[in-house]
Structure 1
């Protein structure tokens, strides 16, 4: 039985179309100066050519597979983390399984919003250690744009679309040193895709789904109240200080939140991986895309990397990785 897992390959994919702050200003009352001042976001990639979440996930998975000698048939498990699925059924992961022809893989989705990659990585780790599969594909993919109400400028200016994919292998190595996850039930601060129940039997009844909405000030306050202390306490339990961590990859909520976390931890921003300025808030995909970029841009052997996700639920957690 394997003692841990290792990363075999990783990739990320974003849609072709880039939407600037000035583009958004043509359809809502906002401007580039306000958006950059409040979020740090300059651009975001948006799916405007019919690509759905499974399409982004599939392309990221195919790019990761192309870096290996593996065939799709060798993948035993596919986990897609998303809160913007193609639909309630079949799962987005099942669509990816079909698209890449991974006929031996069983697949399912995880919905923990912006903390999704943390939960997906943790779950795959357990299955691989248990010997259920030798190779697992963990994909975080979001098409946030399809869930936006573009009249709600306080929410819609933040978000972009993207996907990150990782192929993991059961190994004697132990990439995941420690983990900790939390959930605090709160349906009001952030919610998306609420499906309204019936109030009467009528031929006019038809499913109704609500757009994404967040209470921005409350989100910032919740993150400020919970996340820095969570990180400090989590690291302390594992005899690690923030200064011992080589790279932090937090959820790419917005640049101001990341700057706040860095300040609370008394760590330089140079240690924080950020892609939010160019991709926007890509929900669960942001950490996966950031880790992929870090793997391809830096030499990570011997480095400690902390992944921290937080989002709707309220759900949050961290994984400490030792490369």
Structure 2
């Protein structure tokens, strides 16, 4: 039994913040940001727009694409770092707002790696007949964690949500099957100081701001993600060269290019949305997937490779056939 992605959806808030807009509030410029990150703009949620609203909008579009309704959903997994409340889980709020029946709903917190982790968790339910229609959502309002005086971090992030519907489908047990074929998930808590938010319920009692040692994160990203990519491909029983599309976490164009080179992936196979969306953390992979499905590049039956790295440090990769 395979867990098959049957629908994809995405949502970006209306407000667009350009690099020139940021240059008015922090010492930076469009040229400086583009040269170092490849980012040209990002979206920002309205003040009265919690992350659950973004998640619901993306989920509705994914359900429509799958030919399903909220009444069909029996599992919701939301990958987010920026939940509406300390508790309950944002997934339960999404369940209520969508009008889904009583089922399973919870959040996964692995920061930028959250969507890959969440897909693996959902696979554990769907492929084992514990869920018939799962929503896996990556949703973030990362701009609310920014220190707007720190030009090294505040220019990097944006808000948004992406979602997929995952349903069971019988396969043959080969790499030709549709669905989630292989994973590699990793974490190294000794690298926490490289990327974290300096606040927490049981420590400072405050939300805090994002802190990052950019050069160190870059170095670990290229090496560690490359290892996870090869491990996920081995788990799926495929060669990286067989992949039709590479959909990386949209953190920084230089990291995307570095990982692709190290893994021998042709630039023409890389889906990039970082210029328009910036880093939307757990939302970045499903948003990029949605963009490429919507514009016709990604087609049913193609082999996809996903990867991400986030605070923790956490990282991971997934191979799936759409």
Q: TM-score, normalised by structure 2?
A: 0.92
Distance 1:172 1:196, change over 3 A: closer
The Cα shift of 1:299 comes to 4.8
The Cα shift of 1:301 comes to 3.5
8 A Cα contact 2:45 2:141, kept in partner: yes
Alignment of 1:107-186 (within 5 A): 107-173=105-171, 174-185=178-189, 186=191
User: Partners in 1 of 2:134 and 2:17 — Cα distance?
Assistant: 33
Which residue number corresponds to residue 87 of structure 2?
89
Query: Computing the radius of gyration over CA atoms, which structure comes out larger, 1 or 2?
Result: 1
Question: Which deviations, in whole Å up to 9, do the C-alpha atoms of 1:37-77 show, x marking residues without a partner?
Answer: 00000010111342111110011112222335433122100
Which residue number corresponds to residue 194 of structure 2?
189
- Does residue 10 (structure 1) correspond to residue 15 (structure 2)? The answer is no
The Cα shift of 1:239 comes to 4.6
The Cα shift of 1:19 comes to 0.3
Distance 1:299 1:30, change over 3 A: closer
Distance 1:242 1:106, change over 3 A: closer
8 A Cα contact 2:199 2:207, kept in partner: yes
Distance 1:23 1:245, change over 3 A: same
Which residue number corresponds to residue 175 of structure 2?
none
Q: TM-score, normalised by structure 1?
A: 0.92
Worse-matched range after superposition: 15-24 or 207-216: 207-216
User: Partners in 2 of 1:306 and 1:58 — Cα distance?
Assistant: 25
| Match of residue 274, structure 2, among 273, 276, 292 | 276
Which residue number corresponds to residue 304 of structure 2?
305
Distance 1:175 1:214, change over 3 A: same
Worse-matched range after superposition: 42-51 or 113-122: 42-51
The Cα shift of 1:240 comes to 3.1
8 A Cα contact 2:84 2:90, kept in partner: yes
User: Partners in 2 of 1:93 and 1:234 — Cα distance?
Assistant: 27
Equivalent residue of 1:66, what SS? helix
Which residue number corresponds to residue 314 of structure 1?
313
8 A Cα contact 2:56 2:97, kept in partner: yes
8 A Cα contact 2:8 2:66, kept in partner: no
Question: Which deviations, in whole Å up to 9, do the C-alpha atoms of 1:54-108 show, x marking residues without a partner?
Answer: 1100111122223354331221000100011112101111110110011222210
User: Partners in 2 of 1:109 and 1:153 — Cα distance?
Assistant: 30
Equivalent residue of 1:157, what SS? coil
> What is the alpha-carbon root mean square deviation over aligned residues?
1.8
User: Partners in 1 of 2:14 and 2:298 — Cα distance?
Assistant: 29
Equivalent residue of 2:272, what SS? coil
Question: Which deviations, in whole Å up to 9, do the C-alpha atoms of 1:178-225 show, x marking residues without a partner?
Answer: 111111113211112622657xxxxxxx93231111111111011123
User: Partners in 1 of 2:233 and 2:107 — Cα distance?
Assistant: 29
Question: Which deviations, in whole Å up to 9, do the C-alpha atoms of 1:138-183 show, x marking residues without a partner?
Answer: 1100000111111111111000100001111111144111111111
User: Partners in 1 of 2:68 and 2:122 — Cα distance?
Assistant: 18
